[in-house]
Amino acid sequence: MPLCRVEDVRLVTGGGCYVADLTEPTALHLVFARSPLARARIAELDVRVAAAQPGVVAVLTGEDLTGLPPLETNPVLGPMAVPAVHPLAIDEVHAVGHAFAAVVAETEDLAQSAAELIEVDFEPLEPVSDLLAALDAGPLFAGMESNVAIDRQWRSGKPEDAFAMAHSVVDVELQHPKVAPSPLENRATLARWDAATECLIFCTGSQTPHRARADLARILGLESGRVHAVSPDVGGAFGMKASIYPEDVVVAYAARTLGRSVRWSAERGEDLAAASHGRGASTRGRMAFDASGRILGLTADLLFPLGCWMTYSAAVPAWNAARILPGPYAIEALEVRVRAVVSNTAPVGIYRGAGRPEAALLLERLLDEGAFALGQDPADLRRRNLLKPHDLPVVRPGGARLDGGDFPELLDRALAQAGYRCLLNRRQVRRARGELVGLGLGLYVEPCGQGWESAAVTLDLKGGLSVASGSSAQGQGRQTAYAQILARELAVSPDAVRVVFGDTRTAPEGIGALASRSTAIGGSAVQQAGRRLIARARPLAARLLNAAPDSVTFGSAGFTAETGVRRPIGWDEIAAELDEPLVADCVYTADAEAWGAGCCLALVSVDRDTGCVSPERLWYLDDAGTVVNPLLVDGQIAGGIAQGIGEALLERVCYDSDGQLLSGSLMDYALPRASDMPSFDLARMTTPSPSNTLGAKGVGEAGTIGAPPAILNAVIDALSPLGVRRLDMPLTSERVWQAMRSAERDTPREERGR
Ligand code: SMO
């Protein structure tokens, strides 16, 4: 049901409460001293002058925190070599922005001024920032034999035979721009040591408060009951706030050892330099076709950057990209190799999409190259090779199990939505006039939602209904959606439901808000907890109805029975019978992973003189399974498209050959603005997921998956009359212009326009 977000009035009228809004007048301020060099030995570090400054309470260095256990990384791709990470650098700094000391002072200004008085002598070492260079370079990190942290491969069928018998073979090489997630709210943390209860209260803008609690408890050696994590409003995260940072450990340690409240709020430049980046993969693929256009085989070589330390989900982008292959297509013979590589940059972790866009881009470029080589329509070629509904579920060679969907129907609906045949004609007319205009498709499948999540529903003595979720939110409209899910189960209005999350003191143990899982898994937990509340209330209703519990049913009017009292019993009447609140909780585990799917079609034009790309229009069709609130779904898709457009056209984290960050401010790092957004047309298809009780699939990441391949394919299509077949994102006018000029130089005039 379309329902406006209940949280918005508060959020857009200044009523939001972010970590930096939490009042704590006596809190100390912590500021980090960060490395200006990408790789260096710390020859000397003298903090005495800084520590002697007025207002300075402590200066911490790596030595102070030795002995704390490290942050952990989720081994989704199996065994890995993990570079040692210390909360503050010891002996060596590994990237520009790597923190080597922390000043704690009465005010932020005093801390900042003192940090500038830290005396440090660096002996520069040769840094390697580039992914491909790091692959070949000697080990950059102690304890690692090479810079390859992860190296896995798998195969199915006989790829050699497929390529040997192919009519056409196409190759694609892609370099994803590395991007900075850039949430509105930078990282911020406030840690309070409560001496009376000997508890650490850790307020942080996090996607995973329970994980933050568990990590801090483990690292600081506290029982988990003595650490409380609180995430109030979170101003966007996009994967960047999915696990705690070394900085968080320092802040918590400072609060605990000083017995004071300590806060740290990152500046924008600090986050651009030292928070996790996303994407940045180098991928190569080869695809073999028979003469009719059937895909015979696929080989893929995926290289993912990790940067100088590994976040909890550092291996997830590589894992997702590899296991998704071969996407929605029926391909028997497959060989995938996936590696992840450390180097002297900021960490690279999950970012909205997290490997899904990388898989989609590789496949969709290969399909377009195949169509070009075979002289076929790109949509026809895709249709010929898509899995059919009766092929599903299917287990992919990497172990992923695609649970359901109808991809041919999805493609046909997307083409109809856009008026594809008309667009092809129109492209021809415009090309005849000399315009550079292109159409591009981006199809995708999207693993989204597996594992467990929790919910606890309470009916209080006054008849109030609330639900506490182990999941949380960073702007998705979770309060609205969860209230709708529970309201539907309990036959009440959504505004009668209070939704609680983000505080480990009041929310049940949970996973959090990431991996497009919150509605599918967290929402199913809410639904199940609601059903349990009905079951728990049934005996009370039976008593009020003067009927046997078995004969009581629950419907839109409330509890009713065929016999006894002939009037429905509502929740307020149940509440009036209670001596204590009625609670029903649920730890819901999905039967399997839900897979969404979607299709983006882009129409672009390119300015012949400047190379400037205009995305004229996007058509976007997504199958998110059962939809709770179409407004929220559209909002998520639109936001994802905006970030997809950022990646495709504008954004790039840039390091020079010395490992210096060239995109260290929002003057240098180009986020998309409202005026960069094309008009777009959103449509929906609903194939409920068989994997969770709600039938929902994820949608938060979808827009970032479909938009980039559609735009890249469209721009290459626009430039194909000039002979351009390879381009990398972001498709800045300079890059496109260079590609046009070099194609002009390389391609004899008579061969253009094929
Ligand atoms: S990239 Mo998401 O927050 O799992």
Single-letter residue type at 299: T
- Integer Rg of the chain from CA: 27
Q: Taking a C-beta distance cutoff of 8 angstroms, is the pair 438, 558 a contact?
A: no
Sorting pLDDT into bands at 50, 70 and 90, what band is 749?
Answer: low
Q: Report d(CA 23, CA 538) in Å as an integer.
A: 44
Q: Report d(CA 234, CA 478) in Å as an integer.
A: 12
Nearest ligand 1 atom to the CA of 239 is: 3
Instruction: Encode pLDDT of 291-338 as tens digits.
Output: 999 999 999 999 999 999 999 999 999 999 999 999 999 999 999 999
Report CA(524)–ligand 1 centroid distance (Å). 19
Instruction: Encode pLDDT of 337-359 as tens digits.
Output: 999 999 999 999 999 999 999 99
Q: Report d(CA 245, CA 248) in Å as an integer.
A: 5
Instruction: Encode pLDDT of 541-565 as tens digits.
Output: 999 999 999 999 999 999 999 998 8
Q: Which two tokens stand for residue 29?
A: 């301020």
Q: Report d(CA 96, CA 343) in Å as an integer.
A: 11
Report CA(151)–ligand 1 centroid distance (Å). 23
Nearest CA to ligand 1 atom 3: 239
Q: Taking a C-beta distance cutoff of 8 angstroms, is the pair 211, 218 a contact?
A: no
Instruction: Encode pLDDT of 150-169 as tens digits.
Output: 999 999 999 999 999 999 99
CA atoms within 13 A on the CB side of 395: 3
Query: Could you give the residue ranges of the DSSP H alpha helices within 349-477?
Result: 356-374, 378-385, 407-418, 420-432
Which of 743, 440, 472 is CA-nearest to residue 615? 440
| Sequence-separated (6 or more) residues with CB below 8 Å from residue 558 | 491, 541, 568, 569, 570, 571
Own/partner long-range contacts of 571-576 (Cβ < 8 Å, ≥24 apart): 571/459, 571/463, 571/465, 571/490, 571/492, 571/537, 572/463, 573/544, 574/459, 574/463, 574/537, 574/540, 574/541, 574/544, 575/459, 575/460, 575/461, 575/462, 575/463, 575/464, 576/463
Query: Could you give the residue ranges of the DSSP H alpha helices within 107-208?
Result: 108-115, 131-136, 159-164
Report CA(717)–ligand 1 centroid distance (Å). 31
Single-letter residue type at 358: E
Residue 431 has pLDDT above 60, yes or no: yes
Nearest ligand 1 atom to the CA of 278 is: 1
3 state SS of 543: helix
Nearest ligand 1 atom to the CA of 515 is: 4
3 state SS of 79: coil
Nearest CA to ligand 1 atom 4: 515
Reading across the β-sheet that carries 452-459, which strands appear in turn? 497-500, 465-469, 452-459, 582-589
Nearest ligand 1 atom to the CA of 242 is: 3
Report CA(234)–ligand 1 centroid distance (Å). 14
Report CA(110)–ligand 1 centroid distance (Å). 36
Q: Report d(CA 446, CA 357) in Å as an integer.
A: 9
Question: What's the average model confidence in pLDDT over 670-686?
Answer: 96
Report the run of H or E that residue 443 belongs to, with start and end.
strand 436-447
Nearest ligand 1 atom to the CA of 240 is: 3
Give percent helix, percent strand, percent coil of the chain, each to the nearest 5. 35, 25, 40
The share of the chain scoring above pLDDT 90, in percent, equals: 97
CA 25 to chain centre: 35
Residue 744 has pLDDT above 90, yes or no: no
Q: Which two tokens stand for residue 292?
A: 């009719």
Q: Taking a C-beta distance cutoff of 8 angstroms, is the pair 181, 238 a contact?
A: yes
Pocket of ligand 1 (CB under 6 A): 207, 237-239, 242, 350-352, 354, 514-515
Q: Which of 179, 234, 701 to mutate to test the pocket of ligand 1 (most atoms within 8 A of CB)?
A: 701
Report CA(238)–ligand 1 centroid distance (Å). 5
Report CA(595)–ligand 1 centroid distance (Å). 15
Q: Is the pTM of this model over 0.95?
A: yes
Which of 646, 535, 641, 511 is CA-nearest to residue 587? 511
Residue 126 has pLDDT above 70, yes or no: yes
pLDDT of residue 376: 98
3 state SS of 370: helix
Question: What's the average model confidence in pLDDT over 705-716?
Answer: 98
CA atoms within 13 A on the CB side of 640: 32
Q: Which of 514, 518, 636 to mutate to test the pocket of ligand 1 (most atoms within 8 A of CB)?
A: 514
DSSP for 601-663, please give it. Answer: EEEEEE-TTT--EEEEEEEEEEE-BS-S-HHHHHHHHHHHHHHHHIIIII----B-TT--BS-
What Cα–Cα distance (Å) separates residue 166 from each residue in 112, 283, 362, 555, 579? 64, 22, 19, 60, 74
Residue 750 has pLDDT above 70, yes or no: no
pLDDT of residue 754: 46
Q: Report d(CA 319, CA 749) in Å as an integer.
A: 44
Report CA(197)–ligand 1 centroid distance (Å). 34
Q: Report d(CA 295, CA 475) in Å as an integer.
A: 41
pLDDT of residue 84: 87
Task: Return the residue matching tokens 């200006």.
Answer: 36
The answer to whether the Cα torsion of 401, 405, 408, 414 is positive or negative is negative
| Sequence-separated (6 or more) residues with CB below 8 Å from residue 391 | 330
Three-state DSSP string of 199-264: EEEEEECCCCHHHHHHHHHHHHCCCHHHEEEECCCCCCCCCCCCCCCHHHHHHHHHHHHHCCCEEE
pLDDT of residue 449: 86
Sorting pLDDT into bands at 50, 70 and 90, what band is 745?
Answer: confident
3 state SS of 426: helix
DSSP 521: I
Residue 692 has pLDDT above 50, yes or no: yes
DSSP 523: I
Q: Taking a C-beta distance cutoff of 8 angstroms, is the pair 167, 293 a contact?
A: no
Instruction: Encode pLDDT of 192-242 as tens digits.
Output: 999 999 999 999 999 999 999 999 999 999 999 999 999 999 999 999 999
What Cα–Cα distance (Å) separates residue 457 from each residue in 463, 464, 530, 582, 594? 12, 10, 6, 8, 25
